[in-house]
């Protein structure tokens, strides 16, 4: 039996045990998610269509992996206007394995994981009051101690160090004159500036990038792995000159 489901604004034809990549679903690996938007189901030529969805039909799926799609670059340029705009987008994806196709309001063999919000709302008012009272009692001695003792100077230093670590470039720029990376086809002034900010300023650096370095750039910068590999091949020829 197959079913046609709708999720993330897209439609998929699925059957039991199919592996499928859909737009991100808030769930952990191993959780069971329920997809209630079933447009059609059937077996062979016997197909039932919904209007728009089939009543009582549902598809359950197990979350296999949470990941990302490849980076998509949108580049727009206006001729003779000195106007360029580049936007990178990387869609979050969830890989699921179709578990069951349920009809007529049948219940799944495995229940879907409860959402954190639902668990929070299920707590009794008395339990909430007790937790609040305990938190207030624990906070009182800490507040009194904080008033008596001066603030430590280590905290700002640690915060500054963490900010510097976050702002550190991905690679160390070599000494000497940088190369004009815009000679490479596909690298414009904006892309060259972005690469320079991450420490890549010469043809030799681009030529020596490993696959691990390419994956690092793909993860932290708005360039796809295919783009970087193409630049690497062009840089190898330019570095020989």
Q: pLDDT for 30-55, tens place per residue?
A: 999 999 899 999 988 889 999 889 99
Distance separating alpha carbons of residues 33 and 188, to the nearest angstrom? 44
Query: What percent of the chain stands above pLDDT 90?
Result: 31
Average pLDDT over residues 111-138: 59
Structure tokens at 202: 């010469």
Which fold, 181-240?
DNA polymerase; domain 1 (1.10.150)
Mean pLDDT for the chain overall: 81
Residue 35: predicted pLDDT = 92
Torsion, Cα of 138, 141, 145, 148 (10° steps) = 140
């Amino acid at each position: 039996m197959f079913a046609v489901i709708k999720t993330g604004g897209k439609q998929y034809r699925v059957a039991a045990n199919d592996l499928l990549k859909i737009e991100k679903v808030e769930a952990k690996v191993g959780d069971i998610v329920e997809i209630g938007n079933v447009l059609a189901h059937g077996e062979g030529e016997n197909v039932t269509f919904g209007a728009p969805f089939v009543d009582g039909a549902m598809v359950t799926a197990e979350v296999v992996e949470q990941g990302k799609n490849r980076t998509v670059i949108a580049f727009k340029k206006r001729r003779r206007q000195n106007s360029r705009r580049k936007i990178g987008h990387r869609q979050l994806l969830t890989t699921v394995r179709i578990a069951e196709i349920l009809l007529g309001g049948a219940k799944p063999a495995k229940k879907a994981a409860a959402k954190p919000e639902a668990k929070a709302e299920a707590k009794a008012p008395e339990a909430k009051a007790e937790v609040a009272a305990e938190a207030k009692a624990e906070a009182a001695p800490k507040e009194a101690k904080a008033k008596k003792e001066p603030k430590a100077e280590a905290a700002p230093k640690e915060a500054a160090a963490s900010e510097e670590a976050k702002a550190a470039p991905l690679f160390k720029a070599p000494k000497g004159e940088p190369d004009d990376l815009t000679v490479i086809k596909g690298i414009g002034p904006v892309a060259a500036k972005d690469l320079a900010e991450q420490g890549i300023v010469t043809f030799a650096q681009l030529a020596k990038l490993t696959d691990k370095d390419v994956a690092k750039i793909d993860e932290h910068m708005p360039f796809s792995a295919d783009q970087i590999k193409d630049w690497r091949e062009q840089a190898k020829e330019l570095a020989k000159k």
